[in-house]
Structure 1
């Protein structure tokens, strides 16, 4: 064939004597879409038809090796040739094939490399099989070829964790054969010549017998069932890997069936929804367009939240000026930031050099006037309107023209805060979640007069901080806390009416939440909810049954949760366990409140608890979409996945609502309304869906 040939738009070949090069050039990440699969199949067929080529080297153009599947093909009918068929063709090539990995080789990309006969990696590259994170398993030979190269333990670790593995580790474990430096094409030529010279050995996985240890498989399977009891795909991953002792053709059949089994699960649908939803929340007009430059940020407040926000900014490489009113508070803030950064180093998230560089960008100050040159100020002080309005009034006179003024308020009216300035267009809400340097959610709250470039800058900042920015409109609690306030009532009603806090927590943890609501309350501080109930006491609807009696009495005893050593549970000074001991005095409080209210306790099953709690969450989430507080149902889902511990495999409350169905939800709400018609009311949007058969997913498509 010719010295150089363009097989199709994304695959080209080049023949240099006894060496043939195949280049994948499908920007931006060389995804394994149809054109790539067709081109590779044709290129390998053509090259194997010639007698002059002794080795084939496969590499990719651009910034990365094939980084996985083409997400544009997700949810569409498969088109031939399939990736498994193409990789079988590569593996069975009569001409030895060497792949050159640079950037990231993930999923199907890594499986391409595994199907070649030798794998050379360029320093700095990473490999991985992240399919389990989408409720799937490697379906193009990964469960069969990787254990044949590395053994069971490493293969199971990579497949079950979905992590990106540095190529130095992959070399040590046998997943790649050589680690070099250089440009991909140059490395491909050199590696091909080394195969010819015999200095680079080939290893065809279909000719390797896996080292098989049934005890490792059994122990891994038991661990998976304990750690991820709700997920189907990890079990199927282990079962597929267990077939690596079969001839590879038989093992691939087992893998394929396991993959198809995973495709049919609700967990896969939920995880795919989460994957696309994370990207969808910023794919809106409000997140695009011109932004303002943010070179320096001011943070007002050195408490837990302010210190966390400052830490997040410093890790992102943004200089921070931290403001406190007293030296003691400022020193406490510096200590917290230092502890946060040291923790990031100990967890391997930050190098010591970057920690030192981050601390060097922190400028503490007791003078608010020192914020005169910053580009963005984030206020993170006590959740009290008068305090915030006073601060913003001062910032209005201190900050330079064009500086953005943001409040980290969790509930308060951003428009009222903005009205305390002469520049409401520069004001928005940036609601971080605690701990702010860890939690990925950032609610970006749009005031009535927030300028378009200010809003777009909020989304740009979220991206810079590696957070999931979600647009919210002004209301009490915005998206997440407004919904939380409603379903929090349901949890309180359940306890008032007969359940124990421990049963409610257990039922919801079994459903998939990392922590039940009473454990979360203890962790966050029960005084926060107490303060909110007192703040809203004058505006409380007298027709609504009050649900705060039990929590109020707990707080009146000075029991605020972990920080005071007891709340719904007991926490001694050395507490570091996921199973705290119930506080026996809380049971006495519950009995007393029920007696005062004349409540005869009723029995709830765990399913009853989950159904009521989730229905309450869905009801208010539907209203949030209905009145425009959230732009789309997917925005609500991402708020709860990234800020409230909602089980990712369930996709979010409104994705989960679609799995129940609007008609079933309406019937459920109407049944509950027989007990409490004020609390249980069917949202108009849900009633309409029940009538016309539409779904929240349909609204996402419209959005």
Structure 2
């Protein structure tokens, strides 16, 4: 963490440098350092202006989510920038996201490179732009445009930002040099966004969007509208309301779930055991053996992501059950084979993914297990499982994961025994539904209970369960069934949690967060609830374990409660603690040893 300061003849240049994205962090001291640097710059005799920019052609990737409880420090910094006695010019290149946009709004002038991009993605985390964004942005660009950015979270280009009035100019040359010349010229007046009047289009823009708001667990859109509705001549009063509603959202279950989902997706990109310092990109070329509708779809997806693709026929014949992709990694890793795992259903309880390293051969006929990695495109969404076998080379695994990301897939890594994570979760989700149907609960009522809880689709409508009850009348769906909606939801959740923990017990999954990602992307689990394992932590593992024991005793759970659930419940720990231990990090407020020893003893 550092603020690089340069004294450039009547202009002070302050450059943010904090990790790859120049995050505004209170905890690392960057926010305090920027405030101190600004104060020193204003005290320099003859200084005509301050230019704030980011290192490595990245302006600012936002505020640190770990500092949500210390937002007042950032608000004070932005107020100091806005009320600076000399002009503060923001030189923006690369992304300005979230708190980075709010930092720019506190400046008096904003000059951007064509590479600049702007977004306020807080709504996707169940939050609002709570560092003055809801108060400054509508004043600067109007309520309609501001609400579009804050409610969608979408990213816009420098050209779009200029057209909206978010920035003052785009330069094709060095944006920092241009900002320095502009500040040194001494003709830049002080333009404080907080002193602009409330926008005249606020009432109409708010009314239209309130009407369009649907039912959601995420209350952030509603609170963003409330903040803009309370714009007035009293800027400080608006800031107080914004801060109050941000604190409310931070504490909400929906935001906690959305933030967990965000971090779980990021964690999934970090593959256990691989060198964190080595960045592997997707392969440059791929050769697909086999021609079918699915292989053509994969070929088109690869081509769209910039991978050169050629196609042939499988050497084993047209009936070979595996789709083989030969990937030529030009960045240093050896050529390897990626095969789509064939699902087998020998057991009616689960669908397993086959893996046989001896069956994979290179062009010379020699075994090539180290150069072979299997993958499985799971579910109807964007989930891809990359299967890690004991002999799989790290380079092959990393390149396949990079390829999946280039294809727009969310990639998780699973073990080579015990089946696909998604398919086992899907079966665990379907099993209690079949029992409920057998007890006489209408299919439509099951689907309704789960979609009202937040699932994207009910299990019957999604085709996970085939039932003769599907398609019955609407009256049947509304009739009271043998079970309440809460019981239906709890039964499905408990089965998912137990199966997820079993997957960790069997070393098929490495982290509970990976289970959550699979459920979010494959089953349409509500993001506001974070995933089944996060929801289990929220409820409390002692309660989850007690309910699982009761279900098992009543014959309504096929397998005993997972060892992991029992161990953590007895230790007073959470699944998040297990993930922290598995990641090699220190458990928060708990002793790592007690949890690990308890788990090892039971396992």
Same fold (TM over 0.5): yes
CA distance in 2: counterparts of 1:91 and 1:405, whole angstroms: 55
1:507 alignment partner in structure 2: 449
For residue 135 of structure 1, the aligned residue among 126, 132, 143 is 126
CA contact (8 A) 1:430 1:443 kept: yes
Say if 1:287 and 1:642 are closer, same or farther in 2 by CA, change over 3 A. Answer: farther
1:536 alignment partner in structure 2: none
Deviation, structure 1 residue 677: 4.7
TM-score by length of 2: 0.84
CA distance in 1: counterparts of 2:279 and 2:131, whole angstroms: 42
CA distance in 2: counterparts of 1:453 and 1:57, whole angstroms: 43
For residue 511 of structure 2, the aligned residue among 629, 632, 635 is 632
In structure 2, runs of 5+ residues without a counterpart are 327-333, 344-350, 362-366, 583-603
- 1:430 paired to 2:358: no
CA distance in 2: counterparts of 1:641 and 1:452, whole angstroms: 27
Say if 1:414 and 1:147 are closer, same or farther in 2 by CA, change over 3 A. Answer: same
Superposition pairs of residues 94-243 of structure 1, within 5 angstroms:
94-193=85-184, 196-197=186-187, 203-212=191-200, 213-224=202-213, 226=214, 228-243=215-230
CA distance in 2: counterparts of 1:668 and 1:675, whole angstroms: 11
CA contact (8 A) 1:409 1:429 kept: no
User: Is the helix fraction higher in 1 or 2?
Assistant: 1
CA distance in 2: counterparts of 1:628 and 1:476, whole angstroms: 8
2:240 alignment partner in structure 1: 253
User: CA offsets, 1:133-177, max 9 Å, x none?
Assistant: 222111211111000001111111111111112121222122112
Superposition pairs of residues 208-357 of structure 1, within 5 angstroms:
208-212=196-200, 213-224=202-213, 226=214, 228-288=215-275, 294-323=283-312
Deviation, structure 1 residue 431: 0.8
Deviation, structure 1 residue 420: 6.0
Superposition pairs of residues 235-634 of structure 1, within 5 angstroms:
235-288=222-275, 294-323=283-312, 367-368=313-314, 387-388=320-321, 402-410=335-343, 411-416=351-356, 418-419=358-359, 421=361, 422-433=367-378, 439-475=381-417, 477-521=419-463, 551=467, 568=470, 582=471, 602-634=481-513
CA distance in 1: counterparts of 2:461 and 2:210, whole angstroms: 29
CA distance in 2: counterparts of 1:240 and 1:416, whole angstroms: 58
SS for the counterpart of 1:663 is helix
SS for the counterpart of 1:406 is strand
Say if 1:246 and 1:304 are closer, same or farther in 2 by CA, change over 3 A. Answer: farther
CA contact (8 A) 1:271 1:650 kept: yes
SS for the counterpart of 2:462 is helix
CA contact (8 A) 1:498 1:604 kept: no
CA distance in 1: counterparts of 2:226 and 2:245, whole angstroms: 8
Superposition pairs of residues 7-86 of structure 1, within 5 angstroms:
9-17=2-10, 19-34=11-26, 35-50=29-44, 52-70=46-64, 73=66, 78=70, 82-86=73-77
Deviation, structure 1 residue 287: 4.1
The alignment covers a number of residue pairs equal to 556
Deviation, structure 1 residue 618: 0.9
CA distance in 2: counterparts of 1:485 and 1:479, whole angstroms: 10
TM-score by length of 1: 0.73
CA contact (8 A) 1:12 1:24 kept: no
CA distance in 2: counterparts of 1:282 and 1:140, whole angstroms: 30
CA contact (8 A) 1:60 1:184 kept: no
Larger radius of gyration: 1
Say if 1:678 and 1:110 are closer, same or farther in 2 by CA, change over 3 A. Answer: closer
CA distance in 1: counterparts of 2:377 and 2:432, whole angstroms: 25
In structure 1, runs of 5+ residues without a counterpart are 1-7, 324-366, 372-378, 396-400, 522-528, 530-547, 555-567, 569-581, 591-600
2:590 alignment partner in structure 1: none
Deviation, structure 1 residue 676: 2.6
Deviation, structure 1 residue 416: 3.5
Say if 1:460 and 1:74 are closer, same or farther in 2 by CA, change over 3 A. Answer: farther
Deviation, structure 1 residue 688: 2.4
Decide which moves more: 446-455 or 106-115.
446-455
CA contact (8 A) 2:112 2:175 kept: no
Deviation, structure 1 residue 215: 3.7
For residue 694 of structure 1, the aligned residue among 566, 570, 573 is 573
CA contact (8 A) 2:281 2:402 kept: no
CA distance in 1: counterparts of 2:158 and 2:534, whole angstroms: 37
